[in-house]
Every structure is written in C-alpha cells, then in structure tokens.
Structure 1
Amino acid sequence: MIYLDNSATTKPYKEVLDTFVTVSEKYFANPSSLHSKGGEAENLLGQARRSIAQLLHVTPSEIVFTSGGTEGNNMAIKGIAFQHQNRGKHLITTGVEHASSYESFQLLESQGFEVTYLPVDETGSVSIEDLKKSIRPETILVSMLHVNNETGTLQPIKEMGEVLKEHPKVFFHVDNVQGMGKVHLPIKEYGVDLCTISAHKIHGLKGTGVLYVKNGVTLSPLFTGGEQEFRKRAGTENVAGIVSMAKALRIILQEMNAKKDHLITIKKQLLNGLKNIEDIEINTPEDGSAPHIINFSVKNVKPEVLIHALDEKDIYVSTRSACSSKQGGASRILLQMGLGEQRASTALRLSTSYDNTKEEIELVLQVLQKEITNLKKVMR
C-alpha cells in the first residue's frame, strides 16, 4: 500500500494506539467524578494538558480540548463573533478556508454579521495590503488557514500577526490543522489569539483536538452544560483520546525536527516527475507552500476515474478536502485562485507523511503516467 492521503487523515502511531488502550482500560472514570478513580483520570488529563502546552510553548490554561478541527474552528469563529458582537460585527477571512470555517462565516452572515473575504492571487496567497485596507473600527476577528488543505499554500501568518498587533482589539484565529507537525508556527511570537489543531492529522485518533485560546480571550461557548475546559466547552473529556493526542504531538514534532528535509526531498521528486507527464498542470506553488501537499489537474480526465484506477494499484490519493470530496464539481479553492473551471474540476491532491519513501514516489509517478496514457486512449 502507498498512502498519499495524509491531509484527509493519518495512520495512528502504534504508540498512540497502545496509549489509548492502556488509558481506556485503567483510567476509564469520569475526570469530574469526586472519587479516587475520577481523581486519577483528572490527574492524567492535567498531565496531558501540561505536556501539550509545553510542546506548543503556551500555558496549560490556554489549552481547550475539542473533538477536532471542525469543532475548533466553529468554536473560535462563532465564539468570538457572538461574545464580542456588541463591539462590532465585522469579520475578515478568505474564500479559500476549510469548509468548517467558510461555512461558519456564511452562517454568521445570515445572522447579521458582515464578512470581508480577502481575495487570493494565483498561488492562493493573501495580500498583506488587502488585509490592512479591510480592517475597520468595528472589526473583531481575522481568521486564516496557515496551510491550505487542498493546495498546501502558506498564508503569511507572521506578517498578519505584525499588522494585527497594531489593532489589539481585533482577535486573530489561525486554523493550523494542516500545518501542525509539518510547518513551524510559533503561536505566541506571531501574535495568534486562537489556534486550531486536530489529532487525526498528526497520527493521533479521530475525535480529539485542541483549541488554543490565549489567556484573557473570552468566548461564547458552543456547548453548555458542565464546567469542563474552563467553562469554554462543556462535556465529559475524552481522556484516552487526549492523552493519546499528547503522545502523537510529541512524536510528530520530533519527526519534524529530524525528517523535514525528507518531506521536502520527496515533494521535489513529485513535482519534477509530474512536470514530465503530459496534460498535467500543477496547482500548488513551488515556493510558499507546505512540504507535504501537491495539487495538480489532469486535462479532460475526471479525477474520480483516476482515483479508482490508482486504488486498484493499491495507491491512495484524493480530490480535495475529505469533508467536500463527495460533493463533486469544481474546487472552490482553485476557482478562487482564478485557475478556471477546467482545472478546478479535474484536480487531485497528493499528501505525504514522514513514512513515505523515494521508492514509493517513483512508483506512483510511473503508475500515474501509465494510467493517464491509458485513459487518454480510451477517451479518443
């Protein structure tokens, strides 16, 4: 098997699975319970929170556990909007956000908020000048993807943070679901107020995530009920999933330090190989993009047909964000980049991990060339 759909989800580390089973068996009690078993679970939860905070160079009180990226983005965007709407109802984002953010903004528009969707250039990047011009006295939130989930384009988060330091009443949310463990993002240094992370994109388990909320930032909670997670997110914590996520985060950050050059090497190998295949157009910019995502289009070939052809060869790729992959039609992201209906309707995404090898990449390129040639013959 050659798995190149790591932006949809990753294979859990064995250490993560082992940790989940151990915690589930031995520390199954509710961490809010007053008895000793509850206390043991609560202590373990606290250890995981401190461990994650240390890895992210933030404080434990700034770590809020969620069910993943979608909840984290909804919680940050809607939480800020509803909590601070008396101060202003203007929000800033882009048209190339993940669906969980993009649709949150669309919902807020239907409830009386005004949203500025910053345009992107042909690489998918936002202009800092456009951001500066869009900020108003009634602006309360700027929300951005760090790494685009379809193209891998990097937004200039550091420069945005510098701009927003001049507007201390504007909150800065960064969706770092695709970037964590692949692209360095110093949260404090870049002036980020809220940051979304998902466990299953870093070889953890589905159903767990983190929303970093800077101390002093207040949110209107999505879920009410108990007093868990500093009263920002009610509901019994998934202790086994959270402890496993702490393990996954530690491992992937170690891998990023040790193997980042490897990801860059196989990305270059993929890009060079794809350029030599007829009728392929590469949508991911060579510069200013993450080391693990490549998006390309194949002229006049339906991506679903090519995906199934590769599937038969035990090679697994995708069309776009897994959340939107079954919708069909053109990619909203590529249309926003001005690449046109044809390229936006025929795009594929390859997303690698630190486990992929040069030999796997060479085989994928060979199979791709052969399958595209065969499909072209059938279509003639």
Structure 2
Amino acid sequence: MKRVETVIALPLLVAAGGCGEPSARIPTYHEDVAPILAANCASCHRPGAIASFPLLTYEDAAPWASAIATATAQRTMPPFSMDNSGACNTFVEARWLDDAEIATIGAWAAAGAPAGDATKAPPEPTFSPAGLDRVDMTIDMGLTYHPNEQVEDDYRCFIIDPGLTEDRFITAFDVKPGEARQVHHLTLFALDSPDAEEAAATLDAEEPGPGYTCYGDVRVPDARWLVGWGPGESALFFPEGTGLRMKAGHKTVLQMHYNKENGVFPDRSTIDLRLAESVPHEAVINRIADTDLRLPPRQPAHSESEEVTIPPYIDSVTLWGLWPHMHTMGTKLRVTANHRGEEMCLAQVNRWNFHWQGFSHYTKPITLTGGDSMRITCSYDTMGRDTVTTWGEGTYDEMCIAFFFMTEQE
C-alpha cells in the first residue's frame, strides 16, 4: 500500500505558501470520488443490480473506501478483461480507470475517506438505457427458470426457436436480464445444422427440468456465436454495415450464467434484436485457439501458445473486436499478429477472471492481410492441481481462445 500512497499524491499537488514547496490536496468524496464511481461503478453497484452493495452515496461508499482503493489499484474493479492503457489498443466498451482516477481514490481512502462539501457533489446517477432504435425480434427463454441453489454459479442452456422463415442479420441487440441481481452474463448461439440441433436436444433430454448444464461452453459442436452480454452493459450496436447472420429454420441456444451471491430468484431474461434483411459486410465470429493443452500440475506460471496463418487467398480481414476465454486456472492471455514482418498486439489480458467476461470492440479496427500470422499465448496457475489438465468443456478442464468479430474480403 505504501507504494500506492507515494504515487497517488502526485496528480493532486497544489501550490503552497512559504518556501514554494507543493503540498498535497486531499481529495474528498463529493468533489473527487463521486464522479468516478458514478461513471464507472454505479451501473452495477446500485439496488437491484448484480453487485452486492451500492455505491451511490457517501454513506454507501465510505465504509468500503479501503476495499475500493485496493480493488481499483489492482485493476480487479471495474471488471474489464483487456488492458485498455493504449499499450495494446483501446476498446469502446472499456470499464477502465486512468492512473489519475486510481490515484484519487487511493488518496481519498488513505486520508480516512473525507466527505467534503456536499453542495459540490454531482447529481446522483440515473439509469435509463436508450435501448434500440427499433426492435424487430425478441428472443425469450419461454419460461421462468429457478436457478440451482446447490451451486454457487449455475450455468444453464435453453434451446429457443426464433421462428425465422428467411435469413436475417443481427445489427444490434439489447439484453433485458429478468433478475439483474443474479444474471452474471449470457450468450446466444446459433445452431446452423440438424446435427447441432440434435446434439442440443439430446443434452436437454438427459437432464430433468428446463434446459441443461453448460459450464463454460454450450457443449454443442459448431455452435455459432451471436450475442454476448455482461452486467452493466447497455444496448450494443455492431459496426456500421456489419451484421451476424441468423439462418432461417434453425434454433438457437441461450447460455445463462446465474450467480447466487445476492440470493436466488426466478428469472426470465430476454434479448431484443435489431435485424436487417442484408448487410454490406457479413461478419463472423472466428477464433484462434490452442486446443492441444497439456498443463502440468503444481506450476505457478505455465504458458502455452498456438499460431495460425491467414490463408493467402484472403485479401484482408478486419478485426472489429474480441472476447478472450479461459477457465479458472487462467491468469494472462495475449494475442499478437505478424503483419508484413512486424509484430502487432491484438489483445492483452493482464489479470484473467473467469467470472467477468465480455465482448469488446476496438476503438480503431485492425486490418490484417492474407499470409499474416496470429499467435495466442495463455498462462495458467496450476498449483491447485495434482494431475495434468487438458482442453475441455468441463469445470476442471481448461481453454485458451480469443473469439474475434471480423469481416473478410477475398
């Protein structure tokens, strides 16, 4: 903590009298900290949302001052997987405090969390997401589900038939969690073939009650990503001119992740979709993955890598965003590209947390060309394992993936 306190005073220095030496101005909640929490934390830390305590007032925040300072200094909060410092790109959806904001919170906590002048406090944040400009379809679970009270995190998959008679393209979506206190994230996948639909139906039939267990993955070969959402996110609009195809006559699988930290409540979540008959550039979700994992036990830092080459017949690919994915032993992830002989950083995850995942779009899309290569490197802490861990979809298996939202030109 001493190192943090040394740094945190620097952006808050003001001129002092006497010998002209600067003195540190102590930040206060109402003037300095409240605007930071309102902009970056309150969407989850409010009554009825996923966080276990609110951060809307001084009375809310002051008892948690030390914990807030620690979590922000360690960048475990606000939750965001990618490094958004600019060292490896920046992202539209980033929940990211700059160094000065972290320093301000640290100095406030170290000074005893002073309240300051309440007349200078910003207005209490309001939460009224704009939503979509139009809703062409709503994906509905079709039932009310009561999460499993015997597990800390319930991952449940539900088969849903959108009823499309013609292909359509998703260009934007808005998730409406039925119970924001416990819906940790959700993902919607397309089942594009009879085999995929049959595999999902078999899993559903094998378990009592609605849906089936699907920790980490929907457990269906070739399920294709359509929608991904995490707490605090509002309506998401895909880059102009792009969209993801929904095929007529095929079903989808909705993966729900329920966390019971705030209790267990019946849920019926929905997803509003904006659709187009066609788009200039059909987007796809492609992945780079290291599926040949063999992680030795009792290793504090073990890394494995995989490299792929973009086929030379492809003129170019544009990367618009990505979703990294590992399981619970993952610690770090990095994706790079070799573009015409020069290395480019595509994604850097410095502190992986399996429980906070999401899709992030680049503020500046990245273009690669045929013949370029991409490499993914994942790091793991296997100290808690006694046997070799391999690739798999189960709780005690591991993965190493980066899913990219991309368009390509041949």
Higher relative contact order (CA 8 A, sep 6+): 1
Higher Rg of the two aligned structures? 2
Q: TM-score, normalised by structure 2?
A: 0.25
Q: TM-score, normalised by structure 1?
A: 0.26
The structure with the greater share of residues assigned to helix is 1
The structure with the greater share of residues assigned to strand is 2
